[in-house]
Amino acid sequence: MKRLVFSFSFFLLPFLSMGQFQLNGATVKLGGGTYQLTQAVNNQFGAMWYKLQHDLNNPFNIQGQINLGADPGGADGVVFVMQNNCLSVGSGGGGLGYFNMPGQSIGIEFDTYQNIGAGSGVEQNNDPVYDHIAFEKNGDVVHSIMGSPNPNDLFGPVQMDPVLTNLKTGLWYNFKINYDPVAKLLTVYFNNSLRISVVYDLQANVFTSSPWVYWGFTSSTGGHNNIQEIQLDTTYTTHILQDTTICSSSIPVTLDPFTNLKGTNLALNNPIHASSNQSTAYQMVDGNIGSRWESVWNVDPQWVFVDLQSPTNLDSITIDWEGAYATSFLLQTSNDSTTWTTVYSTTTNPGGHNKIPVSGVGTTNIRYVRIYGTTRSLSAYGYSIWEFKVYGQPNYLWSTNNGTNSTISPNIYSSSVTLTPTATTTYSVMIPDPCLGFTTYNMTITVDCALPVELTSFNVVKVGNKGHLTWTTSLELNASHFNIMKSLDGIHFVSIGRVDAIGNSHTLKNYYFDDNDLPTNGTVYYQLVTTDIDGSSENSVIKLLNLKEDIFYISNPVFDEETSLIIAEGAESLQLTVVDAVGRILLEEHHTHVMSPIYFGKSLPPTAGFYVVIVQTETLNKTFKVIKRR
């Protein structure tokens, strides 16, 4: 019997490894796809950045759940960010980790605190009183300036939830963020409600230098705090180098070519080593023209080299000499800091500002760059340099744990590679970063040719009165057809249709089937049976279509003393939460095997008021408004 393997190559699922995100500040991974950005501690900052940049020419979708803490008076919230700076940006305080972010960026803020007070020492954000969502750019979290619109506030603020004004309930809320690069449409959903829909060209209006952006989440606390957490469900059409299983095929990968980093000083703040130090060598790569490295006096030769952290194609080197310069020196490069290649030499250097173009042998995929001084301009002193700058384009560095059992073409430094393993292989890619130097991302490709079909997705939704089934394969070897199986009890399945397979394919193939005979309520179970041309078959996982959308309702939403939540059919597990108009939790109850009405009116305060009832099961999340008259 052949096996059917799900690889989910195009989805970011809760079992993502920690290595796919760069975690900064207070952020920790809790497991199950959950990340805690801040604790309930004042003055914390947290951020998580997906290590591979997204190409804005492609659609972007990310969805999951967000928990904004349980302190109704806490702060400050979470921001979804796209930015083109680096993997270590973010800040603390009332700016949600997004305030004054360097570079070009956009932020979708889920703000849980009102920063308004003139002269109070907090940011003058002009926040509304309710928890809100806003669409902003370039690290600006101010909604209006002296009563006039802020041009960096692109949409909002709007109330985060159409009903609840305070979302600091300790509960998890669904969110979804989409960007369509063709329609230029950005949409944001919160708690299953559309909160932002705006046509805005991100490339033309924000990311003008390059379509490649980092994406992630920032958060912060200031004088108030909350636990703030993110759980990621799925993301589509961003670069996913995820553990997968293939047969005899190749996987193409195209990543950011880093062209936007040309013209950047790649030596800045990177590790540096010197033969001697009269003053520390780091001062020649700190970006401060007023600090310098100085070698010991009266000694030749002397050298100093910088570690660029990742392989780089060099194009020029700049040296700003102090009065004690080298009249004769070499520029040398290396990949191991032991064996050096000379790429430039002079015996007539006049000192001052040297800008030296370099090319040819010893300038491609270089990690270390050295100045090797042989003759000093002032015999009584040493060598002294204000600033040492290196320019070029950094590259990736791919490696494997399998040597000859895999190939990486065209080369291990390319941003567009084809991975062709002949045995199970773990690929590692070292990713240059302007702030961190580099970070590493790993993926394992399992080679198993016993697969008739590699199924990457299988889903079912209700469309009108039909059950609409869709599935995608990324690999088919001698596949014949798919039998669509249906059950009303999850145990006894019958065939309701057949869809022919492509047969043999190494690319994505999409299929669908419509079930035109749905019951009016209950749960319907579906399964795919994939059949080979030799007659062998394999069952997929079972997918559920829940038709119990209306099993919950409030019998009398306007009442005096008592009301009830009516259960039309039994619920195995139910969480009932009641909050008041400002989001304070008044009642939390968990019920199992529910077969009769649940009464909750007498648990409310003995005064008139407006309340929100939240009902959650494993498959449903519904919200009701109720009014108590007295």
Q: What is the mean pLDDT of the chain?
A: 85
Does the N-terminal peptide bond of residue 394 adopt cis geometry, omega within 30 degrees of 0?
no
Q: How far apart are CA 186 and CA 194, in angstroms?
A: 11
* 289 compared with 253, residue with greater pLDDT: 289
Give me the DSSP letters along 61-104.
Answer: EEEEEEE--S-TT---EEEEEEESS-TT----STTTTTTT-SSS
Are the beta carbons of 52 and 251 closer than 8 angstroms?
A: no
C-alpha to C-alpha distance for 478 and 426, rounded to whole angstroms: 28
pLDDT for res 582:
66
Please tell me the predicted confidence (pLDDT) of residue 365: 95
Would you state the pLDDT for residue 235? 56
Q: Which residue has the higher pLDDT, 581 or 464?
A: 464
Q: pTM of the prediction? A: 0.66
> What is the pLDDT at residue 356?
97
494-509 pLDDT, tens per residue?
999 999 998 888 888 9
pLDDT the model gives residue 261: 81
Give per-residue pLDDT as tens, 221-246. Answer: 988 999 999 998 755 556 666 777 77
Domains within the chain, CATH numbers bracketed = 11-236 (2.60.120.200), 244-258+396-447 (2.60.40), 272-394 (2.60.120.260), 453-546 (2.60.40.10), 552-628 (2.60.40.1930)
Report which of 139, 28, 38, 154 is spatially closest to residue 83, judged by C-alpha positions: 139
- Return the exposure string of 445-483: e unless at least 16 CB atoms fall within 10 Å of the residue's CB, then b: bebeeebbbbbbbbebeeeeeebebebbbbbbbebbebb
Classify 282 as helix, strand or coil: helix
Check residue 122 and give its pLDDT: 41
Torsion of CA 265, 268, 271, 275, to 10 degrees: 80
Query: What pLDDT shows up at residue 585?
Result: 78
Q: In the predicted model, what is the mean pLDDT of residues 208-218? A: 92
Cis peptide before 157 (omega within 30 of 0): yes
Identify the pLDDT of residue 3: 29
DSSP state of 262: T
Residue 14 has pLDDT above 50, yes or no: no
According to DSSP, the β-strands at 453-463 and 132-137 are unpaired
What Rg value do the Cα atoms of the chain yield, rounded?
A: 30
Under a CB-based contact definition with an 8 Å cutoff, are residues 422 and 406 in contact? yes
Judged by average pLDDT, the poorest of 97-111, 124-138, 239-253 is 239-253
Q: Evaluate if residue 151 carries a pLDDT over 50.
A: yes
> Predicted confidence band at 602 (pLDDT cuts at 50, 70, 90)?
confident
Structure tokens at 190: 């919160």
Report whether 84 contacts 54 (CB < 8 A). Answer: no
Residue 35 CA from chain centroid, whole number? 11
Provide the pLDDT for residue 1.
25
pLDDT at 13: 29
- In the predicted model, is pLDDT for residue 10 greater than 70? no
pLDDT of residue 567: 64
19 pLDDT higher than 70: no
Share of the chain above pLDDT 70, in %: 90
What average pLDDT does the segment 153-172 reach? 93
Q: Is the pLDDT of residue 390 over 60?
A: yes
pLDDT at 550: 54
Q: What is the mean pLDDT of residues 546-575?
A: 70
Question: Residue 73 pLDDT > 50, yes or no?
Answer: yes
The whole-number pLDDT of residue 8 equals: 25
What are the pLDDT digits (tens) for 441-486? 888 888 876 656 888 889 888 887 889 999 999 888 888 899 999 9
Distance CA 447, CA 118 (A): 63
Among 24-38, 261-275, 434-448, 536-550, whose mean pLDDT is lowest?
A: 536-550
Lowest mean pLDDT among 290-304, 331-345, 414-428: 414-428
